[in-house]
Structure 1
Amino acid sequence: MRGLVRALRPLGRLAAPVLRPLGRLARLLPHARAASVLTAPWRVVTPTGVAAGVLLAACVAAGWVLGWQEAWSAAVVLAVVVCTAWLWLLPSGGHQVTHSPLNSKVTVGDHALVHVEVTNPLTRSLLPTRMELPIGGGTAVFAVPTLAPRASFERGFVLPTDHRGVVTVGPVLCVARDPVGLLRRERERTRAQRIHVHPRTVLMGAVLQGVLRDVEGAVTQDLSSSDVSFHALRDYVPGDDRRNVHWRTTARVGRLMVRQFEETRRSSLMVVLSTAEEDYDDPEHFETAVSVACSLALDAMLQGRQVRLLTPGASLPTTTPLRLLDASCSLALEAARDDVSLARRACADHPDASVLVLVTGQCLPVGDLARLRGVVPVSMMALAVRCGQEPFRRRRVGAMDVLDLDRLEDLPRAMRRLV
C-alpha cells in the first residue's frame, strides 16, 4: 500500500496545477450543483473514465518503479486529458424546458406525439447543448442550437402506442459530457410523466338486461300488474290480484278498477376477467380479452347501470370511465388460476348482480364452462366470452351461452344476437 501511495505522488504533483484553479472556480460558481460536480467526481465518472484512471495509475507506477520514459509520457498525456475533461461539465446555460403529450387520452394504435419546448429566459444567448428524453424503454436524443434571448426551440417525438400499458415520459435531461466520454453529467429540467395507453373499446348497441325488479331500478315501457311504479287505472279482468283494486275509484264509477304498473328492472352487470396465462395461446389474445371486458363495462356505465369488473388480483374502479381505463393499463397475465373458483367468489361477494359475463381465453376447457353455470345463481344470467384464434361462433354449453371471438369488432354483433 505504501508503495502505491509513493507511486501516485507524481500524479498528484502533475495534476495539482490544473486542479487548483478548478477548485477556486468551483467556489466562485453561483450554483451549488456545479460545485458538487467538482467536489464529488464519482457521480459523473463513466466506466470509460474509470478505465482511464486505472490506466493512468498503471503508467505512473510503471514509470516510477521500472523507470520507463514511455510510461511517463503516456501518464502526462492521460493526466492532461483527464484534468481538462472537467472543463466540459461547467454550467453552460439556464434553459427552461417543458414537455407534454399532444393528446391527454391515448388508445392503442393512435398516433400520439410528445411536444418538447426549450426556451431561453435570459437576456443573453445560450450556447448549444445536448438533451435527452426517456420515452418508455428508449431514449430520444436531440441537440438544442444556440438560442437568442427569449427564443425557443420545439421538437416532437412519437409516443409508442403499439401495446396497452403505462409509458413513462421524461424527465428531460440536459447532458454535458466531454468529447472522449470520461465524464457525464445529467441535470433534470422537467419531471417525469406517466401516460396511460388505454385498450381499444367498442360500443355494444345492445343491452343485456337482467330479470330482477327493484324499487331503485330503471322504469321500462313494459306494463305489469304488480310492481312499484304506478302507471294508470284499468278495468278489472278475471285473474287480477284483488289487492290492486282501487276501491275509491270503483265506488265512484260503479265497476271494479285495478292499478296498472310499469315494470322497473335493475340490471347490474358483473364482468369477470381471467388473467390466467394458461387460458390464452398468445398474449395478443389476452389484449383482446381486456378490450372485450372494458367494452362491456364502459357500455353499461354509459347507460347508467351498476357495473363491476373483477380480476383474480383486484376489482377495477368503475366510478368513471377514465378511472376504469387507467386501471386496465396495469393488467397483466399471472400464474394459473381457477376461473370457476373466481366466478364462485364473485357471485358470493356480489349476489345482487343480474348478469355475469366471464371473459377468458379459448384454452379454457369446455368442461369448466359447464361447471361455471352450476356455481352461478339461477336468477343471474350467465355468459362466457372466449378470445382466441377461432372466429366468431355462438353455442350453448349446458344452460349457458358461449361466444368465441377472434376480433374485438365482432363483439357488438354477438351481443345483438343474444338480446
Structure 2
Amino acid sequence: MPTTRGWGVIAGSVVTGVAGLTLGYRIFYIFTVVGIFLVGCAVAWTSVPTRLRLTRTVAPSRVVRGGAAHGVLSLRGLRRYRRALLIYDSVAGARIDVSSSRFSKGDTDITYAIPTGRRGEIPVGPLYNVRRDALGLASRVREHGEQEFLTVLPRTVALSTVPSGRFSNLEGPTTDRVPTGTVAFHSLRDYSVGDDLRLMHWPSTARTGRLVVRQLADASLPRTTILVDNRLHAYPCEEDLELAVEVAASIAMAASRSRFPVRIIDSTGLVVDTQGGPRDAQVVIEALTIMPSAATAAPLRSSPLLGGTAGHRGALVVVNAGTEVTEARAHRRRFDRVIWIRICPEASVPAVSGLLAIDLHRLDDLIGAWRKMTAR
C-alpha cells in the first residue's frame, strides 16, 4: 500500500507526464516512468511476506491497578533484516511501540511495559508488524497472534471489619451448613455426604431425581452493605472514581475475609451479594474489577435494593464524591451504623447527625481514618 509519500510521487509523476505531453518535452516522460516504477517496486517489496514469527505473552495475567505488567515479545527470525521493522502492540485500543531496531538472524525476546492505570479486563493485542521500503514509498501492516486479556484488579488496603450486627460473632462462620441457631433459608444445593437429613428438600428431590438439601445461612452475622457511586460525571476526574471503587473494595474484602455477608450496590443496581462463604473474597474482587462506570446523570437512588428494617441490617457504607448526602441520611435509622466516605470533596460538608463521615484524598489515608472510626 503506498504511503502518503508514495501517493505524492504518483501524483507528481502524473503531473509531470501531463506537462510533458502538453509542452512537448519527452524528457518529462522519463520522470513519470521512474516515479511510477519506484512506487510499484516499493509496493511489490513490501507485499512479500517476511519470515519473522512473532508471539507475545503477558506476565503476570493478573495485577493490581498501578502494578507492573509486561509483555514479552518472542521474535523468531531466519535472516537478517537490514531495514528497521516497526512492531507495535494494541492495549485497550491504544498503540504501544515495541521495537524498531534491526534484528539479527536467530531468536530474540523483547520485554516492554503494559500500562495498568485502568481497572478491568484489558484487551492486549494483536501484534502488528509494519514493513516499509527504504524510500518510504509503501508499507504493509501484518497482524500476528491473538488477543489476550490482562486483569487489572482494584487496589486494596488491610482494614478491620465494621463492628455491627445484633449479635457479636467474632469468629465468623466455620461452615456453609448451619443446622441450628439464628438461621434462614439461602438456597438449594445437591446433597453431600454428612449433610443433616432433616434439611432434605423432598419436592426438589422427587422432581430432579437426585438428592437436594436446603442450604441455610446465619442471619445474625454482621452484614456490610456498600453503596458506591460509580457515575463518572459525579467526580472531577476518572482517578477519583477509581479511588471510590478501591475504597469499596477494601471494605468489602475486610468483611469477606472474615466470612461475613457483603452486598455491593452501584448507581445502576446490585453488583454482588455474598452470604459469608469461603470464596467470597474472590467473588467480591472479581465483581468490582469488571464494574463499569455509569454514564447516567440521574440522582443516586438505591432504596429498593437496600431493604431491611431499623437496626437489623448491619452497617451501611456510602462512598461518593461528597456532593450528595440524601442516600446516606435516608437510611441512617435502618442500619446499626452508617458510614459516609467522601472522595476528594471540593468543599467542606457539614456534619450530619447519625452519620460517621470520612474525607479521603488517597487510599492509604483510609487505614488511619478507618481505625479511628471503628474505635468509636
Is the 2:272–2:287 Cα contact (8 Å) retained in structure 1? no
Q: Check whether the contact 1:107–1:197 (CA below 8 A) recurs between aligned residues.
A: yes
Which residue pairs with 1:84 in the alignment?
A: 41
Structure 1: distance between partners of 2:230 and 2:219: 35
Q: Which residue identity does 2:265 align to in structure 1?
A: L
Of 326, 331, 338, which aligns to 2:292?
331
Q: What's the offset of the Cα at 1:350? A: 11
1:355 and 2:315 are equivalent in the alignment = yes
Q: Shift of residue 411 of structure 1? A: 2.1
Matched, 1:71 2:28: yes
CA contact (8 A) 1:166 1:196 kept: yes
Please state whether the residue corresponding to 1:415 is helix, strand or coil: helix
Identity %: 21
The letter for the 2-side match of 1:147 is: K
Q: Output the TM-score relative to the length of structure 1.
A: 0.65
1:402 counterpart residue number: 357
Is 1:382 aligned to residue 343 of structure 2? no
Deviations 1:34-62 (A, max 9, x none): xxxxxxxxxx3333333333333333333
Letter in 2 for 1:293: A
Decide whether aligned partners of structure 1 residues 168 and 300 sit closer, same or farther in structure 2, where only a CA change above 3 A counts. Answer: same
Pair 1:294–1:64, CA change in 2 (3 A): same
Q: Is 2:79 the counterpart of 1:126?
A: yes
**CA pair 208-105 structure 1, distance change in 2 beyond 3 A:** farther
Deviations 1:71-123 (A, max 9, x none): 32320221221121134224354333221222222223323322111125xxx
**TM-fit CA distance, 1:153:** 0.4
TM-score by length of 2: 0.72
Q: Distance in 1 between matches of 2:308 and 2:105?
A: 62
Aligned equivalents of 2:173 and 2:351: distance in 1? 30
Segments of 5+ residues of structure 1 without an aligned counterpart are 1-43, 220-225, 230-262
Compared CA separation, residues 322 and 81, structure 1 to 2 (3 A): farther
Aligned-partner Cα distance in 1 for 2:130–2:283 = 36
Where does residue 195 of structure 1 map in the other structure? 150
Please list the CA deviations of residues 386-416 of structure 1 after superposition, one character each: whole Å capped at 9, or x if unmatched. Answer: 111589x999622222222222123233333
Alignment CA distance shift 1:395-1:418 (3 Å): farther
TM-aligned CA deviation for residue 326 of structure 1: 6.7
SS at match of 2:51: coil
Rounded to whole Å, the distance in 1 between the matches of 2:220 and 2:173 is 5
Shift of 1:201: 0.8
CA distance in 2, matches of 1:353, 1:299: 18
Q: Greater Rg, structure 1 or structure 2?
A: 1
Q: Is the 8 A contact 2:88 2:97 kept in 1?
A: yes
- Could you say if the C-alpha distance between residues 171 and 350 of structure 1 is closer, same or farther in structure 2, counting changes exceeding 3 Å? farther
Partner letter of residue 118 of structure 1? L
What residue in structure 2 maps to residue 186 of structure 1? 141
- In structure 2, relative to structure 1, the CA distance for the partners of 1:322 and 1:160 (3 Å cut) is farther
More deviation, 153-162/281-290: 281-290
- Residue 313 (structure 1) aligns with: 268
* 1:31-110 equivalences in 2 (<5 Å): 44-91=1-48, 93-110=50-67
Is the Cα contact below 8 Å between 2:90 and 2:126 reproduced in 1?
no
For residues 100 and 72 of structure 1, the distance between their equivalents in structure 2, rounded to whole angstroms, comes to: 52
Q: Which has the higher mean CA deviation after the structures are superposed, 305-314 or 350-359?
A: 350-359
- Report the equivalent of 2:231: 276
Aligned residues: 321
1:273 touches 1:311 (CA, 8 Å); kept in 2?
Answer: yes
